[in-house]
Amino acid sequence: MKVFLFFFLQTRGSATMTFYKTLFKHIRHWPANCHRTGPLALSHKLNPCRGLLTDGSAARPRITENSVEVFSHVYPRDDMTNVTDKILSKVGCQLHNRPHHPLWLIKERIKDHFYRSYIGRTGNPLFSVHDNLSPVVTVEQNFDSLLIPPEHPSRKKGDNYYLNRTHMLRAHTSAHQKELVRSGLDRFLLAGDVYRRDEIDSNHYPVFHQMEGVRLFSNHELFARVENGEELSLFESGGRRTPQKQETHTLEAVKLVEFDLKQALTRLMRHLFGEDLEIRWVDCYFPFTHPSFEMEVRFQGDWLEVLGCGVMEQELVCSAGAGNKMGWAFGLGLERLAMVLFGIPDIRLFWSEDERFLKQFRLSDIYQPVIFQPLSKYPPLFNDISFWLPAEGYTENDFCDLVRSIGGDLVEKVTLVDEFTHPNCINACELCFILSTTREREREREKG
């Protein structure tokens, strides 16, 4: 197959030429059917993350010809394996647990709010916090335990990082909900790194961080403050599912759980953004909650989606061994909140080791106000690339993964701007627009 390449890229420094040469080489050697059974074999070395490992004694994650090794566990490779060295280099970094990192600050503010708001009779916090769980989960944990159908698009290989057919890097922290509920917990917060194959721009990165909360209620706990509450019940038999409730829940129980959920999250967001924050709720759909909602807040004149939540599907709760209870769950993105609250314009900055970035968040108090100060005065550079593609077996995320594996955070944005199909050929030519910059070169110039 003939491959035609045309680039118009924007970069800074000599590192750009090395990036292009490597990218050309891998595009040129793509097989005609464009099916790769494993990650790219890159000639350059990837810098390992300097963060903490979930298991401090474990070796760094690595890929061999026949297996993927993560935290001393070996997973045989198969046709679903698509994790790359670049992505594995992020496993164990745990930015959300690094003191004074902006993601840590957001996590600590949320944790502190729940600790102060939900206190037991002896003064102990009612919500436990779990922020050190391994990101390697089973496909069952990531999808089946959350009632995500077998043919649901979120399971696609093109959107996830699979170690093999049975194990993957979690796509959401909700993958641990069932195991934590099964352990006997009825109130908990969960934070961790999650992995999804995605587009390249200032708002998307293949590794990001989520935090979620779960609260379960017994019949007594939910109706204790309701007049004649002893006559009410969480469940009913012979009910039917409606937009307002599940078939097993009574309407009274759902409305109380929904009220408690929205009240808890309203207080949380006003704790983070300020008491005058304007909030609105939007009905939505999630496979693991019903009814489901998204919260939007009005910030600097714009409505921003900040989290998703809802009444937990009773089938999920029952499968975790808590069938006599019902509850709510919510999930939010730590990067999303940090970018808004701290004025951080690019999601890649959270992975920066630049002292000028890190020192801005070394605060004496987690609630000390801070607004990010830009690091560079240099404008970005723009470039294009076009090449022939096979008729099938290729996704835009395949190319984004290739760019990330070779260029790392050198490339800031990849946008598909045009497609062309030759009338006498089944191959399609995709024209991609790439926006990139080299912060390492910026620092060298500024020092010089």
> Which CATH number characterizes residue 205's domain?
3.30.930.10
What pLDDT score does 430 carry?
A: 54
Indicate if the alpha-carbon torsion angle 180, 183, 189, 190 is positive or negative: negative
Task: Tell me the mean pLDDT in the region 37-53.
Answer: 36
Among 140-149, 249-258, 418-427, which is the least confidently predicted range? Answer: 418-427
Dig out the tokens for 237 from the structure. Answer: 């038999």
pLDDT surpassing 50 at residue 381: yes
Looking at the structure of the chain, the number of domains it has is: 2
Q: Determine the straight-line distance between the first and last CA of the chain, rounded to whole angstroms.
A: 46
Contacts of residue 278, Cβ cutoff 8 Å, sequence gap at least 6:
297, 298
Say what the pTM is. 0.77
Question: Which pLDDT band, with edges at 50, 70 and 90, does 43 fall under?
Answer: very low
Q: Per the domain annotation, does 178 fall within a domain?
A: yes
Element (H, E) at 307: strand 302-312
pLDDT surpassing 70 at residue 441: no
pLDDT surpassing 50 at residue 257: yes
What pLDDT score does 401 carry?
A: 77
Q: Are residues 266 and 407 in the same domain?
A: no
42 closest CA partner among 290, 359, 405: 405
Among 40-44, 47-51, 272-276, 358-362, which is the least confidently predicted range? Answer: 40-44
Crossing angle of the two packed helices 251-273 and 334-342, in degrees rounded to 10: 40
pLDDT surpassing 80 at residue 270: yes
Highest mean pLDDT (candidates 224-228, 311-315, 432-436): 311-315
Q: Per the domain annotation, does 21 fall within a domain?
A: yes
Task: Tell me the mean pLDDT in the region 219-246.
Answer: 94
Q: Are residues 333 and 386 in the same domain?
A: no
pLDDT surpassing 70 at residue 209: yes
pLDDT surpassing 70 at residue 10: no
82 closest CA partner among 23, 22, 175, 169: 169
d(CA 236, CA 248): 5
Q: Are residues 325 and 235 in the same domain?
A: yes
| Beta-carbon count within 10 A of 230 CB | 11
Task: Tell me the mean pLDDT in the region 35-61.
Answer: 44
Residue 280: phi and psi, rounded to 5, are: -140, 155
Q: Are residues 215 and 297 in the same domain?
A: yes
Higher per-residue confidence, 61 vs 397 = 61
Indicate if the alpha-carbon torsion angle 254, 260, 266, 272 is positive or negative: negative
Higher per-residue confidence, 240 vs 438 = 240
For residue range 388-422, list pLDDT tens digits in order: 776 666 677 777 777 777 776 667 677 777 776 76
pLDDT surpassing 80 at residue 122: yes
Q: What angle do CA 327, 333, 336 make, to 5 degrees?
A: 140
Task: Tell me the mean pLDDT in the region 260-271.
Answer: 98
Q: Are residues 180 and 313 in the same domain?
A: yes
Q: Which residues pair with 245 in a beta bridge?
A: 242
What pLDDT score does 370 carry?
A: 96
Task: Tell me the mean pLDDT in the region 171-199.
Answer: 97
Q: Per the domain annotation, does 396 fall within a domain?
A: yes
Q: Per the domain annotation, does 372 fall within a domain?
A: no
Mean pLDDT value across the chain: 84
Among 175-189, 315-329, 397-411, which is the least confidently predicted range? Answer: 397-411
For residue range 278-295, list pLDDT tens digits in order: 999 999 999 999 999 999
CA 434 remoteness from chain centre: 23
Dig out the tokens for 358 from the structure. Answer: 């890190």
Q: Which of 299, 331, 351 is the last residue of a domain?
A: 351
Q: Are residues 126 and 26 in the same domain?
A: no
Q: Are residues 281 and 335 in the same domain?
A: yes
CB 109 within 8 A of CB 366: yes
pLDDT surpassing 90 at residue 177: yes
Q: Per the domain annotation, does 42 fall within a domain?
A: no
Higher per-residue confidence, 33 vs 321 = 321
What pLDDT score does 376 carry?
A: 66
Q: Which of 296, 331, 351 is the last residue of a domain?
A: 351
| Beta-carbon count within 10 A of 38 CB | 17
Q: Are residues 302 and 403 in the same domain?
A: no
Report the helix count and the strand count for the chain, using DSSP H and E.
Answer: 12, 16
Question: Which pLDDT band, with edges at 50, 70 and 90, does 58 fall under?
Answer: low
What pLDDT score does 60 carry?
A: 83
Q: Per the domain annotation, does 89 fall within a domain?
A: no
DSSP designation for 153: G
Count Cα neighbours of 206 within 13 Å in the Cβ-side half-sphere.
28
Q: Are residues 156 and 257 in the same domain?
A: yes
Q: Are residues 130 and 260 in the same domain?
A: yes
Task: Tell me the mean pLDDT in the region 6-29.
Answer: 52
Q: Per the domain annotation, does 43 fall within a domain?
A: no
Q: Are residues 262 and 305 in the same domain?
A: yes
Question: Which pLDDT band, with edges at 50, 70 and 90, does 379 fall under?
Answer: low
Q: Are residues 290 and 400 in the same domain?
A: no
pLDDT surpassing 90 at residue 19: no
pLDDT surpassing 70 at residue 438: no
The residue with tokens 């993957």 is 168
The residue with tokens 């690595």 is 62
Q: What angle do CA 303, 305, 306 make, to 5 degrees?
A: 125
What pLDDT score does 22 carry?
A: 63
Percentage of residues of the chain with pLDDT beyond 70? 76
Domain of 442 in residue numbering reads as 6-36+381-447
Higher per-residue confidence, 235 vs 51 = 235
In three-state secondary structure terms, 429 is strand
Contacts of residue 210, Cβ cutoff 8 Å, sequence gap at least 6:
172, 173, 191, 192, 194, 331, 332, 333, 334
Q: Per the domain annotation, does 341 fall within a domain?
A: yes
User: What number of residues does the chain have?
Assistant: 448
The residue with tokens 């097989």 is 31
What pLDDT score does 200 carry?
A: 78
> Which CATH number characterizes residue 392's domain?
3.30.70
Kindly report whether the peptide bond that precedes residue 291 is cis, defined as omega within 30 degrees of 0. yes
**Helices of type H across 41-157:** 85-88, 102-117, 139-142
pLDDT surpassing 50 at residue 350: yes
What pLDDT score does 18 carry?
A: 60
